[in-house]
């Protein structure tokens, strides 16, 4: 069969070469078991799963019948809207069950009552924060950090990057801001935003073309610089901007075109040397398999909350590892999101060079006996205590009230 030359050019050489052996490896990683049930000798029966609120903060509290309690910060901005989904479609399905079966229970939650029709950010965040509270509980039962329950703790000190959420300011103002957040945290990497977010405009492109060289000039040759296109370009514009990023040795180019433009992203990946990063909007394991198998991106970015928790995200990290790719989870919201990312990055084999750290956020007062929970000279220490390894301020918890739907 004669394959049109245009078709051949649109498929990355690496994907063509890897395709015959990669499929079975990805299938195995996707269906592999993550939670180490063998760590537990006895059933851990779930007595209750509650959603609590204090001010703007939402917290999940999971209790076992033997009196062990796990907590998770529940992505407050999402939960302020999505709480009925957690309370009606997720939490009730776990009460009375054995927490050692969490992995299969979450698969059942997806299928029960046609919940799969609800999948997307509000559903998966609800699943994720309940999962994390139960993982915190399980970690406390066996005296292990959650990384040891779902993987192999490999690094306790995580290099962090600071991301800017600005857009529309001048290149000079943006660099001044980036210098400030780098000096506050000692971060050895930054990520800034390009484009106009899911639409193109010429003014933002002029800012992009000034900002890319200015960040390199400001931070020097050894600094790691990432940039996020937030789906702002089409294929020719993305390739043009990507070539400039390559000239100034940026380290990855995130979401150059809208996130679900898979074929277009693959064309951009094939035309550029700079790695393409993708995944924060992805809700499907199969979707990630497609991204990895078809060479659409080389930096794989599940959002630990938007994607439904650490166990599902671990399967994505394993698929990426099977293809020789790095996994740099996306961090959404504030609160303890940075802590979830740090635990996850500590126990996967293919963590990207830096993980996102959003900086000071005291909306949920927590303390850790084994970590300052701050970036020190650009490094965040992963708590080694049981579960998440943090304690929420008891006075804050005492004022939190149960949420009902
Ligand atoms: Mg992004």
Give distance in angstroms: CA of 126 to centre of ligand 1: 21
Give distance in angstroms: CA of 196 to centre of ligand 1: 13
Is the confidence at residue 147, as pLDDT, over 70? yes
- Which element (helix H / strand E) includes 86? none
Where residue 402 falls among pLDDT bands split at 50, 70, 90? very high
Give distance in angstroms: CA of 279 to centre of ligand 1: 8
Is the confidence at residue 348, as pLDDT, over 60? yes
Q: Residue range 92-114: average pLDDT?
A: 98
Give distance in angstroms: CA of 201 to centre of ligand 1: 18
How do residues 63-77 score in pLDDT, each as one tens digit?
999 999 999 999 999
105-114, 213-222, 226-235, 325-334 — which is least confidently predicted?
Answer: 325-334
3-class state of residue 50 by DSSP: strand
Q: Which letter does DSSP use for residue 382 in this model?
A: P
Give the C-alpha separation, 248 to 253, whole Å.
12
Give distance in angstroms: CA of 146 to centre of ligand 1: 26
**pLDDT confidence of residue 362:** 76
Give distance in angstroms: CA of 277 to centre of ligand 1: 9
Q: Which letter does DSSP use for residue 88 in this model?
A: I
Give distance in angstroms: CA of 52 to centre of ligand 1: 29
Burial of 333 (0-12, 13-18, 19+ CB in 10 A): buried
Where residue 95 falls among pLDDT bands split at 50, 70, 90? very high
Give the C-alpha separation, 345 to 331, whole Å.
12
Give distance in angstroms: CA of 142 to centre of ligand 1: 36
Give distance in angstroms: CA of 343 to centre of ligand 1: 20
Give distance in angstroms: CA of 261 to centre of ligand 1: 15
Give distance in angstroms: CA of 253 to centre of ligand 1: 10
Where residue 248 falls among pLDDT bands split at 50, 70, 90? very high
**pLDDT confidence of residue 133:** 98
CB atoms within 5 A of ion ligand 1 belong to 228
Residue 370 CA: distances (Å) to CA of 82, 132, 241, 348: 33, 19, 43, 20
Q: How far apart are the first and last CA of the chain?
A: 60
Burial of 119 (0-12, 13-18, 19+ CB in 10 A): middle
In the chain the domains, ranked by start, together with CATH numbers, are 37-143+395-402 (3.30.390.10), 149-385 (3.20.20.120)
Record the pTM. 0.94
**pLDDT confidence of residue 333:** 78
**pLDDT confidence of residue 84:** 98
Q: What is the 3-state secondary structure (H, E, C) of 248-267?
A: CCCCEEECCCCCCCHHHHHH
Give the C-alpha separation, 299 to 265, whole Å.
13
Give distance in angstroms: CA of 395 to centre of ligand 1: 35
Q: Which letter does DSSP use for residue 39 in this model?
A: G
Where residue 360 falls among pLDDT bands split at 50, 70, 90? low
Give distance in angstroms: CA of 69 to centre of ligand 1: 34
The whole-chain average pLDDT of the chain stands at 94
Give distance in angstroms: CA of 402 to centre of ligand 1: 33
Give distance in angstroms: CA of 332 to centre of ligand 1: 9
Is the confidence at residue 331, as pLDDT, over 50? yes
Give distance in angstroms: CA of 228 to centre of ligand 1: 6
Q: How open is the CA angle 306-382-67, to the nearest 5 degrees?
A: 75
Give distance in angstroms: CA of 281 to centre of ligand 1: 9
Give the C-alpha separation, 123 to 113, whole Å.
13
How do residues 284-300 score in pLDDT, each as one tens digit?
999 999 999 999 999 99
Give distance in angstroms: CA of 192 to centre of ligand 1: 9
Q: What are phi and psi of 228, to 5 degrees?
A: -120, 115
> What is the token pair recorded at 391?
């304690």
Is the confidence at residue 9, as pLDDT, over 60? no
Give distance in angstroms: CA of 199 to centre of ligand 1: 14
Where residue 20 falls among pLDDT bands split at 50, 70, 90? low
Percent of the chain whose predicted confidence (pLDDT) is above 90:
92
Give distance in angstroms: CA of 64 to centre of ligand 1: 37
Give the C-alpha separation, 291 to 286, whole Å.
9
**Partner residues linked to 48 by β-bridges:** 63
Give distance in angstroms: CA of 249 to centre of ligand 1: 19
Give distance in angstroms: CA of 280 to centre of ligand 1: 6
Q: Residue range 236-254: average pLDDT?
A: 98
Give distance in angstroms: CA of 405 to centre of ligand 1: 32
Q: Residue range 248-252: average pLDDT?
A: 98
Give the C-alpha separation, 385 to 340, whole Å.
14
Give distance in angstroms: CA of 368 to centre of ligand 1: 29
Where residue 5 falls among pLDDT bands split at 50, 70, 90? very low
Judge whether 302 and 282 are in contact, CB under 8 Å.
yes
Q: What are phi and psi of 366, to 5 degrees?
A: -130, 160
């Amino acid at each position: 069969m004669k394959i049109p030359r245009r078709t051949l050019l649109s498929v990355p050489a690496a994907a063509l070469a890897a395709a015959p052996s990669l499929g079975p490896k990805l299938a195995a990683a996707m269906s592999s078991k993550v939670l180490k049930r063998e760590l537990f000798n006895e059933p851990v029966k779930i007595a209750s799963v509650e959603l609590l609120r204090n001010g703007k903060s939402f917290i999940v509290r999971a209790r076992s019948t033997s009196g062990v309690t796990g907590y998770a910060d529940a992505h407050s901005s999402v939960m302020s809207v999505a709480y009925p989904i957690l309370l009606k479609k997720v939490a009730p399905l776990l009460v009375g069950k054995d927490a050692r079966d969490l992995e299969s229970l979450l698969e059942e939650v997806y299928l029960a009552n046609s919940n799969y029709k609800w999948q997307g950010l509000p559903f998966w965040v609800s699943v994720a924060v309940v999962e994390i509270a139960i993982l915190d509980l399980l970690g406390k039962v066996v005296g292990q950090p959650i990384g040891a329950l779902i993987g192999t703790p490999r690094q306790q000190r995580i290099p962090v990057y600071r991301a800017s959420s600005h857009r529309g300011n001048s290149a000079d103002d943006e660099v001044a801001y980036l210098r400030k957040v780098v000096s506050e945290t000692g971060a050895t990497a930054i990520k800034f935003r390009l484009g106009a977010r899911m639409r193109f405009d010429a003014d933002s492109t002029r800012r992009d073309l000034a900002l890319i060289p200015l960040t390199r000039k400001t931070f020097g040759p050894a600094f790691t610089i990432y940039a996020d296109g937030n789906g702002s370009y089409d294929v020719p514009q993305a390739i043009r901007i990507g070539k400039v990023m390559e000239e100034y040795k940026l380290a990855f180019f995130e979401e150059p075109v809208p996130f679900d433009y898979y074929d277009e992203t693959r064309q951009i990946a094939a035309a550029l040397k700079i790695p393409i990063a993708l995944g924060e909007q992805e809700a499907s394991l199969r979707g990630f398999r497609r991204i990895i198998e078809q060479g659409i991106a080389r930096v794989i970015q599940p959002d630990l909350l938007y994607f439904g928790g650490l166990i599902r995200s671990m399967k994505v990290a394993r698929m990426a590892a099977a293809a020789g790719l790095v996994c740099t989870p996306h961090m959404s919201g504030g609160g303890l999101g940075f802590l979830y990312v740090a635990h996850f990055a500590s126990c996967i084999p293919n963590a990207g060079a830096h993980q996102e750290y959003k900086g000071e956020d005291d909306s949920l007062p927590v303390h850790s006996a084994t970590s300052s929970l701050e970036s020190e000279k650009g490094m965040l220490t992963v708590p080694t205590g049981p579960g998440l390894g943090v304690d929420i301020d008891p006075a804050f918890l005492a004022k939190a009230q149960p949420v009902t739907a």
